[in-house]
């Protein structure tokens, strides 16, 4: 496990995946198809639990220009700056099961902020990071 510091908030836009966990891949495929840069920008998954115990999963893409969320008709979300515990997964497309395993093990680490959402940062088609915020 590593730590990463996000010096600034990250603006993303996207939408909730209504059929979580099914439908995640298709949701990201639809975002990639809409973006002029395709996969040449970062994509994010944000997950959190409702008070009723239901998982909310947001498929999102980094907002590179002001107004993109509105242009594409999506909601805007913020990934808060701060310290994050992270696990890097290489070749994530063929190792999907490691994502869930990584989050489960990181949630047991002392100092994790259980009130902040979990973040999946898809840097490219090979590399992704599972990230959980540390208590400040």
CA distance 50 to 55: 6
The pTM assigned to this predicted structure is 0.92
pLDDT tens for each residue of 75-126: 999 999 999 999 999 999 899 899 999 999 999 999 999 999 999 999 988 9
Of 23, 4, 9, 14, residue with least CA distance to 106: 4
Q: Domain boundaries in the chain?
A: 2-133
Q: Which two tokens stand for residue 119?
A: 């973040």
In CATH, 2-133 is 3.20.80.10: yes
The total of other beta-carbon atoms located within 10 Å of residue 73's CB is 9
CA distance 120 to 108: 17
Give the model's pLDDT for residue 63: 92
pLDDT tens for each residue of 4-18: 999 999 999 999 998
């Amino acid at each position: 496990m590593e730590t990463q510091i996000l010096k600034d908030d990250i603006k993303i836009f996207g939408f909730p995946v209504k059929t979580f966990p099914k439908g995640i891949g298709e949701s990201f495929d639809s975002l990639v198809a809409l973006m002029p840069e395709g996969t040449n920008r970062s994509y994010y998954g944000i997950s959190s639990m409702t008070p009723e115990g239901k998982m909310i999963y947001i498929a999102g893409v980094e907002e590179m220009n002001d107004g993109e969320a509105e242009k594409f008709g999506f909601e805007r979300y913020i990934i808060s700056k701060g310290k994050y515990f992270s696990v890097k997964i290489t070749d994530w497309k063929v190792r999907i099961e490691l994502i869930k395993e990584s989050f489960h093990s990181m949630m047991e680490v002392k100092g994790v902020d259980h009130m902040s959402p979990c973040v999946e940062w898809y840097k490219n088609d090979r590399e992704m990071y599972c990230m959980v915020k540390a208590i400040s």
